[in-house]
Structure 1
Amino acid sequence: ELRASAGRVVLVTPRLATLKALDAGISQAGVVPESSPLLEPGCGLSDPAAAGPVSGTGGFLYDGGTVCYRPPGTTAGLLAGTADGGLTVLGSTALLNNGGLGSHGHAALALRTLGSSGDLVWYLPGLADAAASRSTKTLDELAPDWVAFLGPWLVFVAGLAIVWRGRRLGPLVFEPLPVVVKAVETAEGRARLYQDSHALDRARDNLRAGTLVRLAQALRLGSQATADDVAAAAARHLGRAATDVTGLIQEQPRTATRLVQWSQELDKLENEVRTR
């Protein structure tokens, strides 16, 4: 519509979709090589010929129609126009901005390209240009026709399933809290966890720590007593060599069988300390 109502249309770095919509035979062809910072007109159009060379830095190339400002070795150029002159494509915004107008033939090319008629309309497309008929469709419009029948049916089936499962499970059972768990049950549970995970080192350390705490209490040692202090006190209490008691407490079982035997020996040691 814009092209039909305008005598001449100038596009600055248009995208592929815009060029396809105009269907003028002009297409994108890449970017200007860095090796070609300055481009000569190299075409028969009067406006580029009068303007002279322009900068190609950061510009885009277009192919189709009459092409000007071509880098060496390519048929595409920085400027392309239709044969009737109704559409011109510029591949660089530097040709029109204030910072580049004073360079080379930028000002001349801009004036001759945009000032060929008495009226100039500078148009920037935006979201407000979208037609009202292209509004987003609602969910009802996107859904197929059979959803109107299937939706209520699914709700009905889900309701039946809720009633069926609710009656089957019965009412909730409330249990008074807190729940008292026997110490032996927690000990056995932790032991099974250690066994399943093969955590011999963790079980060994817990057994040793528990034995030292109980021996210290039985021997009435302070909370600051170390493992060596507890072993020495137990040895004196039993009349045994300190190295024997220390070796037993500090042993590092490597197998589950030895761990069980070691725990029994520790239990025997505790019983001897308590009974003597």
Structure 2
Amino acid sequence: MSQSTAARPAWASPRGRGRRAAVWTAIGIFLVLSALLGVALFGAQPWARKAPMDADSAGPDGARALVQILEQHGVQVEVVRDRQSALDALHRTAATLALPDSPYLSDSALTTLVDAAADTVVIEPRARSLRLLFHESTPEGFASRAVAPACELPTAQRAGTVSPAEVARAGVGVTACYPADGGAVLLQVPRNAATVSSLDGVSLLSNAHLAEHGNAALGIGLLGSRTTLVWYTPTIDDSDLAAAPTLGSLTPSWVSPVIVLLLVAGIAAGIWRGRRFGPLVAENLPVTVRVGETAEGRARLYARSHDAAHALDQLRYGARLRMARLLGLAPATAPDDLADAVAARLGADRAAVRGILNDTVPHGDRDLARLAADLTDLEAALHAAIRPGGSR
């Protein structure tokens, strides 16, 4: 009896190739759709975070609420995003400038903007702007409580108490309002027929704190004193500072060619090794395999290793399968039950048949050869008894 199988892998069939193509197509479509969705989400998000005290920001530290209130009071608020536009707007009309102290601007750029404005309010003062514009004033810390004006400035008197904020120690000739903890919340100084004021805008004028105490009144009084307000937030594109050395300028000249050479070598190695990936040849090879060939092959291997017991076990295993099929028994029939069925069919001694099929243990190659011959004779006799004159 023989069994035929086709040695053709599943991926080599037209159906398998179609399935693989469909899977990769679906993956590609999914990746493309994911990329498009990501672009749509991140390319049009109105809630993207803006800089603190940005005039268009509705976040807690933004200033959109103050800008809208100023516009309701008749102030034309012009929001600019670059330094040249800010200078052009200040040169067109006498306007108040709302300006943070930005690290992107040099000292000269900062003072040029202040000199071009009719009035200036520094809404995020730092040590640099306090030193340059307020006669060597210095940061002093943060007020621990709400602060009253305690000065003669009309704007501060009208606003009244304001929220706790950063304070600065005033320099010579600087008017200080809202004194607290060794400094003052509001500084003001004359400059070229204009006034320059300084206060912590995030703590007083931002959306989160504008409605507290007299914060809104103070902001309107300082920023709404003229009909036009230029609100300028510097960016890195406005920087007039000398560019810092780049990594490329600091590395030796031979580094770039070496990196390119390594990349080329890596690509070449990938192509060289990559051609080994996947099946090289797909062939259809119909093969006829005898049922007991595996058992007989293992028996030969055991025989070569002089393991007679294992070799005989493999021969017995194949013979039992064939005998069970001849007798119409299940392949999983117990060996002793199969031996009894064979003995009954042949009318042979049950103990002798059990010895050949199951029990006798060989002690060498001579015993293995004798028992293998007995096993072959027993199988031939059973075949002759069941199928007289029939082929095996």
TM over 0.5: no
Which has the larger share of strand? 2
Range class of TM-score, shorter chain: 0.3 to 0.5
Q: What TM-score do the two structures reach when normalised by structure 1?
A: 0.44
Q: What TM-score do the two structures reach when normalised by structure 2?
A: 0.32
